[in-house]
Amino acid sequence: MTGKHSNEAQPLQEQTPNVDELRAELSETVAALAAKADVPTRVHDSASAGVEKAKITAESNPGIVAALAAAAIGAVIAYVVVRRRKSRRGVLR
């Protein structure tokens, strides 16, 4: 009987896996798992990518950035005005 399940003795090199290859595969697996487990680095990389995307968007659409800045300033001014009016009435202490 010849083939996959034969009882013939195979050379020793074919029976035992190459230790160096197994070590390399194990090293790659450990490195991949370590990268997945390193949450602070992954968060930092994601945040950096978001910042770069925002910069590119801001550079290509300066009108939108100006509108958002004006809206933010308007919201702050409205908040200050409302707070001052309430404090004059004695609502805030």
pLDDT value, residue 72:
96
Rg (CA), the chain: 32
Cα torsion at 61, 63, 66, 68 (round to 10°)?
-80
9 touches 15 (CB < 8 A): no
CA 50, 51, 56, 59 dihedral sign is positive
* d(C-alpha 57, C-alpha 54), whole Å: 5
Instruction: Convert the pLDDT of each residue in 3-56 to its tens digit.
Output: 555 555 555 556 667 888 899 999 999 999 998 898 898 899 999 999 999 889
85 touches 79 (CB < 8 A): no
Which structure tokens are listed for 47? 């945040």
Instruction: Convert the pLDDT of each residue in 64-87 to its tens digit.
Output: 889 999 999 999 999 999 999 888
Which structure tokens are listed for 5? 């399940």
